[in-house]
Amino acid sequence: IFSVGRWKEVLSRNDNEDQRISALKNAIPEYCLKSKAKNTCKKYKYAFNAFCKWCSSFIPHISPLPASETNVAIYIIHLSTKFHSVAKIQEAVYSISWAHSLGDFKNPCDSTLVNSVKEGAIRSVSHTVKKKEPISPEVLSKLVKKFGKESDSLQDIRLCCMCLIAYAGFLRFSELINLKRSNICIFDSHVSLFIERSKTDVYKEGSTVVISRTPNDTCPVAMLERYLRKANIMPFSEEFIFRSILYCKKSKSYKLRNGNKPLSYTRAREILLDALKSLGLESGNFGLHSLRSGGATAAASNGITDRLFKKHGRWKSEKAKDGYVQENLLEKLSVSKKLGI
């Protein structure tokens, strides 16, 4: 990308050019890449490299940058027949657009041809998506009763703590798992969680989530305090609080694994689904996101104002916020009941 188009001129060197100018000039590509989130750039690079590889498989080679709208349209058809994935098609279009924008080339993905082929490909591979069910307060009560009250195991208390905190704070998995002890301030009435990084926090300013104490067994603050004591995590520590656990044969107890590495998504999901299965629930209907959507659904059902609701969940748009709420049958029936017939 940085060897064609505008970059030939931008990165060209002049014999009489000041070294300070040259050094700053060489940093331009790095700052252009930083205009997108690190993971977004990584995803786009991977997808665009796949397009380049496909272009080079033909004799003579097809130019990937700048690419013709016909070749991009053909590539989209190739992806739809090979992978049958909407995500792959969208990823390809976004990455090709990104590469052409960086090179200051005309974007072939803006053409009517490519857009028509893209829509046709998406329609041809689309299938019904079954959204995961939100976890309800009743399910959390059963989890705490089985794993929080009847057990004093660090493993079980960690499960209850993760579920209650994620549910009450509307936390995404990445927000939950990256919580450090230094991000947590516990008060008499509530706990304050500082979220260092969030999906919608483009400039990494951070945000604070407050969770109230409750008098119930499912109180997230009380469970968090219990977990921190059991895990022996000191205040103001920079350790991630949710980490892997080891079983010590000598003491016949569990302890957190040494090394400041948070629990993986795969392992956390496995822990939650196993617990739900043990309650007699169909684990396939749930996922880690069920905790965030469960908290959001409960808040909406109890009449929390949109402003507070949106701020607590760190949503940017109404559409994104509404996608997390699952209305119950009575709420759905209220629409037709009020039609005057």
CATH of the domain at 287: 1.10.443.10
The predicted model scores a pTM of: 0.80
pLDDT of residue 320: 67
226/111 same-domain check = no
Task: Based on the fold, state whether residues 69 and 181 are members of the same structural domain.
Answer: no
Which residues neighbour 125 within 8 Å (Cβ) at sequence distance 6 or greater?
80, 83, 84, 85, 86, 89
In a domain, 172, yes or no: yes
Element (H, E) at 247: strand 245-248
Same domain, 200 and 268: yes
Kindly state whether residues 106 and 159 are assigned to the same domain: no
Residues 320, 261: one domain?
yes
Nearest to 311 by CA among 302, 299, 301: 299
In this structure, are residues 232 and 67 in contact, taking their beta carbons and an 8 Å threshold? Answer: no
Residue 2 counted as domain residue: no
> Considering Cα of 276, then 280, then 286, then 290, what sign does the dihedral take?
negative
The contacts of residue 157 (CB under 8 Å, 6+ apart) are: 147, 148, 151, 223, 226, 227, 230
Reduce the DSSP state of residue 255 to 3 states and report it: strand
Domain membership flag for residue 338 = no
pLDDT tens digits, residue range 184-197?
A: 999 999 999 999 98
Which of residues 61, 96, 125 is at a domain's end?
A: 125
Quote the number of domains for the chain: 2
Last residue of one domain, picked from the residues 102, 125, 148 = 125
Do 121 and 16 fall within a single domain? yes
The pLDDT tens digits of the residues spanning 213-230 come to: 999 999 999 999 999 999
Domain-located, residue 131: no
* 284 found inside a domain: yes
Exposure class string for 291-307: b at 16+ Cβ within 10 A, else e: bbbbbbbbbbeeeeeee
Q: List, for the chain, all residue ranges whose pLDDT scores fall below the cut of 70.
A: 203, 319-323
- The answer to the question of residue 35 being in a domain is yes
Residues 141 and 118 in one domain: no
Residue 165 placed within a domain? yes
- Contacts for 297 with CB less than 8 Å, ≥ 6 apart: 134, 136, 324, 325, 326
CATH code at 37? Answer: 1.10.150.130
333 falls within a domain: no
What residue numbers bound the domain in which 175 lies?
137-327
Per the structure block, which two tokens stand in for 89? 């098609």
* In a shared domain, residues 96 and 161: no
Token duo for residue 233:
């995590």
Number of CB atoms found within 10 A of residue 41's CB:
16
- Please work out, in degrees rounded to the nearest 5, the angle formed at the alpha carbon of residue 180 by the alpha carbons of 162 and 276: 10
pLDDT of residue 325: 72
Residue 220 burial by CB count (10 A; 0-12/13-18/19+): exposed, middle or buried? buried
